[in-house]
Amino acid sequence: MSTALPVQPTPAHLTAVRQHVRSLLADTDVSRVPNEVVRHRLAREREAARGALSQAADREIDRTDSVVSLTHPRSEAMFVHAGLAAFDGDLTESDVAARRDRHYRNAKTFLAESRYAGPPTDPVGTLVEHARIEDWGQTGVRIIKRDSVHEFENATLHIAELAKDVEWGRAYATDARRLSEHYVSTLEETHDYEDRFSRVATTLLADVEPYVDAPDKDALTSEIDRDIENTAAEELVQELARIRWSGAENAVKHHDSGRVALTVGSTMRALTADHALAATTDAIADSAYGVPESVARIDTERTAAIEGLRGLLNESPTLLARRLATYVRSTIQSADSQIRQGSVSSPGHHLYAQYAIANRFAAAAPSVIRRVGDALRE
């Protein structure tokens, strides 16, 4: 029997996450801290963690969303726990440094030892599942490693902030490991896709490597025979070029670190942005995306973006389509949020551009999805 993808964290995983937050928040009476600034900061972090824990328990959401929604709250709970321990003299900066080193080694070891195991007949599902696991694991490593936390003059807050950052990264890394273990346990028969994923990643990477450098704004519009300054067209071109650059840059970084599942995901984003940019440049040359003559023009673009999203979600392979659809959806939602908040400025070219970005990205995605899907199944 095939396993539904993406795989959900187990109920035990979610229970352990919730219990961890509760245990960190146990016996956190901050009233005994005399320093008002420290006391208020500890109380604020405590209430934030409690609020997140309550929301995660009350909302009808899937276990993946529940676990993800409690990633940062785990660090907030640690801030309080570590802060009080530091206040009592039971936790020092060197203690946190040792903790950081231990969790960093564990997270790096997990990523180094992970294998691209999956069912023999589903390379696409395997790639998507491992991309999520890699994303969580790499995020954990990055957060644990960094040492650019806010510097507090107060020793208690300083130690608490250091511990908070370590816990945030540890939460990501631990979730990645537990999800990986659960995913592998669901497989009746496994196949190692390392060679296939590496081949696909290398091929795709060659197409996006020319875009690893930051785009030159003047070069982007040099072939457009019209003035697009301060129009939706200008923002549309620049943003699609930025997405292409970001995707290419991340793809190279992931490939250099051996994370081929994430490499494929980043190249998909870069290639989609590249295709969208080419089509957009042609449309702009034909006078599209100037100053919107009315709200109706913006509304038309929004409708087109939503229809594009719906069409994208019907593309196959579905799991690859969902990855690119996430960006389209978030762009539409961001623009909608600006309308609700009343933060749209005249003449509305930013809002127009946001919906156009979503629309163009959705239109360009299917060919990339089919190409990558075919390559993975070869």
The H-assigned helical ranges of the chain are 11-25, 36-58, 63-69, 71-87, 93-113, 123-145, 155-185, 194-208, 217-221, 232-256, 260-285, 295-313, 318-341, 349-377
What pairing do the DSSP bridges indicate for beta strands 117-118 and 191-192?
antiparallel
The residue written with tokens 């409708």 in the block is 303
pLDDT tens per residue, range 87-126: 999 999 999 999 999 999 999 999 999 999 999 999 999 9
φ, ψ (nearest 5 deg) of residue 61: -130, 165
Residues 6+ apart with CB under 8 A from 370: 315, 316
Q: Band of the pLDDT at 347, cuts 50, 70, 90?
A: low
Residue 147's CB is within 10 A of a number of other CB atoms, namely 9
Strand residues in 14-135 grouped as ranges (E) = 117-118
Go through the chain and tell me how many residues it has. 378
Q: Determine contact, residues 248/211, Cβ cutoff 8 Å.
A: yes
Mean pLDDT of the chain: 93
pLDDT tens per residue, range 30-72: 999 999 999 999 999 999 999 999 887 665 568 999 999 999 9
Residue 310's CB is within 10 A of a number of other CB atoms, namely 11
Please state the domain extents for the chain.
11-191, 197-377
Residue 128's CB is within 10 A of a number of other CB atoms, namely 24
**What's the start-to-end Cα distance of the chain, in Å?**
23
Residues 218, 220, 225, CA angle at the centre, nearest 5°? 85
The residue written with tokens 């996450």 in the block is 17
pLDDT tens per residue, range 74-86: 999 999 999 999 9
Give dist(CA 119, CA 36) in Å, integer.
57
Run of H or E including 291:
none
Question: Please, what sign has the CA dihedral across residues 366, 139, 177, 107?
Answer: positive
Torsion of CA 318, 321, 322, 328, to 10 degrees: -150
My answer on whether omega of the bond before 347 falls inside 30° of 0, hence cis, is yes
Q: In Å, how far are 78, 123, 189, 203, 294 from 171, measured between CA atoms?
A: 11, 28, 29, 34, 48
Per-residue pLDDT at 59: 57
pLDDT tens per residue, range 166-213: 999 999 999 999 999 999 999 999 999 999 999 999 999 999 999 999
Tokens standing for 138?
Answer: 């790499």
